[in-house]
Structure 1
């Protein structure tokens, strides 16, 4: 997803205990969802697959739900959060690399020239990833990611990115888990970019995070065993890669999938277009006042083919403006 986002460019976490103490302790497990067919489609599906002895009952071991991250669980505008991380890391490292002032794509980043940055394409992004994501151990990269998220602020909301998570989706995650589901992230974002914080933000532990990755190798360094990150792409967990990544990591076909863009189309198809009770949901960004409104023409999180497919395949489409009482946990 980060690769696609760059090519398309034009010119402190909130504790889960604060968000929801226990889904079962609430009269309404989804209080930030307005009553209506969207909310009802979720609760009806969960009721059917958890009804012991019912025709659609699914054993707990098979209750697998997969969630995209960018635009589904947290904000992805005005650019993917990981791309913002890449740009900030280049700027932070620039004083140690004076030659970057005249060398592309670093010159474009330092000069804020998004058109030139886009022109650098995938090769340019690989250079940026090489200096911002590789050449260090996995532990070192996790610390860099954590430190950045603790200080970085969204340009519009002026809050940490880990606060810009969707309250209704946090409730949905808790509701599913309270009903015996195991929840996974399947994102086009970097797997090691997400793993340091998904547990405290979403309640999803690192072993249940699937994402894009770069190559790594084992090394003994001064007598210490380390996993060292290399500047080479290993796997892109987006579009046709998502079902492959899910199958490799989980070994079971999910019965529920949640996304927001064309990058999630194949994941939704693979999850829902098979036998038995299945559920697909697309988050449609329709609220420019409280968040953003975008779909078919967006450079990030483009929703075009998947939106058309939702009608054909009877997936639930969330209209954020209509269906959500609040968007972020901090909202009044």
Structure 2
């Protein structure tokens, strides 16, 4: 009697679509793991240097602590003290004045230089590099340079004025002129940033639009105002927000030149909180001023973004 042996069943291959989907999933998972292996350490470092200090500063703003004795919880007393502190409001006023001078001038200077450099002329690469060099200079170098240029006794600017039979100025030693000098030196370094951003945006303007405007008989000014400027509006919003945030946080140039003088005329918000925290060792009060600065910066950014979106000038 013979016994029939059943042939082994061979599993059917998975559908091609399911196999491809599984391969894509595995490939995506491997890419994610590889990416986080590279970016993970840097991400942890950034979070550790931003989130933890921010949380600790919030706790300190509710305390009275000089760095040595045990901290004392005072609640919102530090914030209430800011409301009645005339020195703090003077620092706010100085920061607002500086921002009102610096931001429009930096945007206009960057736009003017970018338009001037957006052409095919000889040695254009050298000109563009020369414009960008001040941006990479350190604040200390810029401060030392401004001190020598605007020194009332032996500064280069006053020497030029004397040669022209004009009266010498006090510059950094004059309370009415010191913030103007700091604004000028800030423009010397920061206008290069706005120039580079505008130059990149100008080179992205479609050439066919410019050619169509030229064929239609539009002049240079009409072409810029009707064609180029609408293309630059989102970039202008971004630059305005960026420069405003930088202006509100002004510290390094003040520290390397006037140290808040003369007579406190250049004491900004950041210099005020640095002075309270690290010179008088009132860390709680300085942290409260820092959080007020954070709130002002956040509200300013949100306000500009909302306004730009309502006007269809989105940059983010």
Q: How does the TM-score come out when normalised to structure 2?
A: 0.27
Structure with more helix by fraction: 2
Structure with more strand by fraction: 1
Structure of higher CA gyration radius: 2
